[in-house]
Structure 1
Amino acid sequence: MSEFSHSYAVCAYKESPYLKECLASLAAQKEASPFFIATSTPNVSMEGLAKEFGVPLYVSDKESGIGRDWNFALSHVETDFVTIAHQDDVYLPEYGKMLREYHRRAKDPILFFTDYGELRDGETVYETNLLRVKRKINSLIRPKAFWHSKFMRNRALSLGNAICCPSVCINRKRFPDFRFGEEMGSNLDWDAWSRLAKEKGSFVYIPQPLMLHRIHEGSETTNQLEDGKRFAEDFEMFRRYWPKPIAKVLMRKYASSADSNKISE
């Protein structure tokens, strides 16, 4: 297997109080990979952190948008593989090391993704209703024998978006023209995985929690859950795989699980 060429593209937006913690977690990886910051909303704090960590800061001149910002970050990737890191999240020290280990095991990987935990009010949480549901879905493609199966990965994706976006490492060498769709506000990641799932190669699930996704009032996930955008896009995605009556049933179950992403009052 060839050398694993990997980097992190950190997508930053406005002034996040958590960006420094994210950058520090990348700098503390047991097996280091280069990283950079990409933004459409530069500010003094962000510029200071780029200097502190000695990393490039790329500034887009386009209007902010999740898909647009992620694609801008992708345009600056120079390695074969990339993890699009979210500014509020934290990567555990073994994340990069395990990517390399699974890269040695995988045949023709399309992407890697890991299990994860959550950060809530400073506490690390590994067990919620949503996390348990996602692990059950991902168990469909956990065995190495199923990494290469288009059928199994699409069955998993048909049950919900169980792939944690900031845990994903994409094979840019194989898909240099890959872009996230910019029309969705929430499920652009689910849409991306559903498109990549049609390609020949492996979806590799690493069943260890190797990063922590932060849940807080200012997060985009929380905002979309509150204004209903998330559920509208969820239904659109289910309709790609199922007739309308079945999609409605799945939506009800999926919506009850997603309640654990809301902030407790």
Structure 2
Amino acid sequence: MTFTSNDHAFVICAYKENPHIEETIHSLKNQTVKSNIYLSTSTPNDYLKKICEKYEIQMLINPYPKNAGTDWNYGYDNVPEKLVTIAHQDDLYEPTFLEETLKCIKDESDFIICFTDYNELKLGKIEKSNFLLKIKRIMNWPLSKKCMQKNKFIRRRSLSIGCAICCPTVTFNKKKAGSSVFDTVYINSCDYKAWCDLAELDGKFIYINKPLLIHRIYSESATSKNLGNNIRQKEDLEIFSRYWPKSIARFINKVYALSEKSNKI
């Protein structure tokens, strides 16, 4: 099997009236390789309706809203394409994101997820490197090597010390990953939990060590709000406890929480 752009869809998960969503759409429309674009929301409104009409994007409305995991699952499950990238409403995709992704996965019918490196956008400035980005790149590096992409031990070890996979960079192979991949209990770490569950499947985790997305960090983002409420720490501790005894899990969680400071604006 060879994957092409016809097999792929970007699904923008939109919430209320986000001021950055048009920039996200522009970055998807400007891809060097074109694919289908959808917008999925559980908060339909005139603002989103007008944007969809302006850019000729089909809107999917989740009738059973609960949290981010539920919203992402709805968009993921309700498009017909075999490959899906869940685009967050405030991030920017480099023009070659899809081209580079397809280049890596076109003949890889057994891949589960393919994800890329990324840069950060803070207070209007792009950060190409910081302490947290360096650590995540080290954690992900083994999965850029073909000989390690099927190795469950490698991906378990990486996930056991934190989540280095940036959700909006991930392209899913729906046939391998299955339906409703995101956890619907966790508020913040539903994606981290998903990577841990998918890591147990047979198939490849493919990492492209090129920064092909710009991840926006700002005070109104869901991640920043959840950090302020310590929601992320509580959920991450549960995940760490999946891999380690409680005492070690608590220690790792405290160290890992220090990295969260870079996500606070």
Scaled by the length of structure 2, the TM-score of the pair is: 0.95
Aligned to 1:202: 204
Aligned to 2:213: 211
Deviates more, 1:83-92 or 1:124-133: 124-133
Aligned to 2:232: 230
Deviation string, structure 1 residues 149-205 (Cα, Å, up to 9, x no partner): 111111111111000011100111233424311100011111111111111100000
RMSD: 1.3
Shift of 1:107: 5.6
Aligned to 1:151: 153
**Structure 2 residue runs without a partner (length 5+):** none
Aligned to 1:92: 94
Deviation string, structure 1 residues 223-263 (Cα, Å, up to 9, x no partner): 01101001111111111111112112211221111211111
Counterpart of 1:46 (choices 45, 48, 55) is: 48
Deviation string, structure 1 residues 85-135 (Cα, Å, up to 9, x no partner): 000111110100011110136461000000001111221112122211211
Whole-angstrom distance in 1 between the partners of 2:88 and 2:147: 31
Q: 3-state SS of the aligned residue for 2:106?
A: helix
Whole-angstrom distance in 1 between the partners of 2:91 and 2:141: 24
Whole-angstrom distance in 1 between the partners of 2:79 and 2:159: 27
Q: 3-state SS of the aligned residue for 1:111?
A: strand
Q: 3-state SS of the aligned residue for 1:162?
A: coil
Same amino acid, percent of matched pairs? 38
One-letter amino acid matched to 2:2: S
Deviation string, structure 1 residues 200-221 (Cα, Å, up to 9, x no partner): 1000000000001111111000
Q: 3-state SS of the aligned residue for 1:240?
A: helix
After TM superposition, what 4+ stretches of structure 1 lie above 4 angstroms from structure 2? none
Contact map agreement 1:60 1:72 (CA 8 A) in 2: yes
One-letter amino acid matched to 1:61: P
Whole-angstrom distance in 2 between the partners of 1:175 and 1:137: 22
Q: 3-state SS of the aligned residue for 1:174?
A: helix
**Structure 1 residue runs without a partner (length 5+):** none
Deviation string, structure 1 residues 25-84 (Cα, Å, up to 9, x no partner): 000000111111010111111111101111101112223411111111112221111000
Whole-angstrom distance in 2 between the partners of 1:157 and 1:254: 12
Q: Give the paired residue count.
A: 263
Whole-angstrom distance in 1 between the partners of 2:66 and 2:154: 35
Contact map agreement 2:3 2:107 (CA 8 A) in 1: no
One-letter amino acid matched to 1:252: K
Aligned to 1:262: 264
Scaled by the length of structure 1, the TM-score of the pair is: 0.95
Q: 3-state SS of the aligned residue for 1:173?
A: helix
Deviates more, 1:242-251 or 1:5-14: 242-251
Aligned to 1:184: 186
One-letter amino acid matched to 2:149: W
2:104 is aligned with 1:111: no
Contact map agreement 2:2 2:109 (CA 8 A) in 1: no
Aligned to 2:21: 19
Whole-angstrom distance in 2 between the partners of 1:90 and 1:104: 23
Q: 3-state SS of the aligned residue for 2:177?
A: coil
